[in-house]
Amino acid sequence: MTSDPDHSTGTATIAIAIEADGWGGALTTPEALVARAARAALTAACPELGAATVSLLLADDRTVQDLNREWRGKDMPTNVLSFPATDTSAGETPVAEFAGVPLELGDIALGFETCAREAAAQGKPLAHHVEHLVVHGVLHLLGYDHVDEADAERMEGLETRILGGLGVPDPYVEERLGDG
């Protein structure tokens, strides 16, 4: 696991664990990539955030499938899982439950094989897909969701803006073109 000042934003820390070999072979600097995406999401979605930690796990599909089965009752791998540690609504600034205790925003896990397969199928660089999924996961930790259409539009709009700042093309453009 890595966690160092290079992965901090203001007083937020991005703790990263890489537990699958594929990540290092497919991405030049996976730690820097996911830390950059997490920082961008935190800064854009919650600029007043104080000391906080986000934990990111870059795992294989088997690990993500185990987590998905245990915590969501779905026995299959997926691209990203988010486990918020606070009960925050979209647009709110989360606060620590107890004074003097660092705020844990939650955990995000990505499954390598699913992410790589999706990026290839969508004809996009794996790095762009991973940045999108990290931004998406961080927004879930901050209370954003896509259960109904209005919430989905709000979340997708914020994702698109954050990703644009990272130089990542709009991941939803084809969906919008298909709707017309």
| 83 close to 104: Cβ distance less than 8 angstroms | no
Mean pLDDT of all residues in 143-159: 94
Mean pLDDT of all residues in 140-164: 95
| 122 close to 134: Cβ distance less than 8 angstroms | no
Beta strands 52-59 and 103-111, pairing class: parallel
Query: Where in 67-180 does DSSP place strands (E)?
Result: 80-84, 103-111
**Residue 96: predicted pLDDT:** 82
- At 173, the pLDDT band (50, 70, 90 cuts) reads confident
Distance of CA 51 to the CA centre of its chain: 18
Mean pLDDT of all residues in 2-13: 53
Alpha-carbon dihedral sign for residues 102, 85, 39, 61: positive
From first CA to last CA, the distance across the chain in angstroms is 45
The phi, psi pair for 90, rounded to 5°, reads -55, 130
The two structure tokens encoding residue 158:
């914020």
Count the Cβ atoms, other than its own, within 10 Å of residue 116: 19
Range of the domain at 118: 5-179
Q: How many structural domains is the chain composed of?
A: 1
- At 178, the pLDDT band (50, 70, 90 cuts) reads low
**Residue 62: predicted pLDDT:** 98
CA dihedral of residues 99, 100, 103, 104 (deg, nearest 10): -110
The phi, psi pair for 119, rounded to 5°, reads -60, -45
Say yes or no to pLDDT of 180 above 50.
no
C-alpha closest to that of 90 among 149, 150, 157, 143: 143
**Residue 9: predicted pLDDT:** 46
Query: How does pLDDT run across 9-57, given as a tens digit for each residue?
Result: 457 899 999 999 999 999 999 999 999 999 999 999 999 888 899 999 9
Query: How does pLDDT run across 61-108, given as a tens digit for each residue?
Result: 999 999 999 999 999 999 999 999 999 999 899 988 888 888 999 999
CATH number at residue 86: 3.40.390.30
> How long a stretch of residues is the chain?
180
The two structure tokens encoding residue 61:
């599909």
**Residue 15: predicted pLDDT:** 97
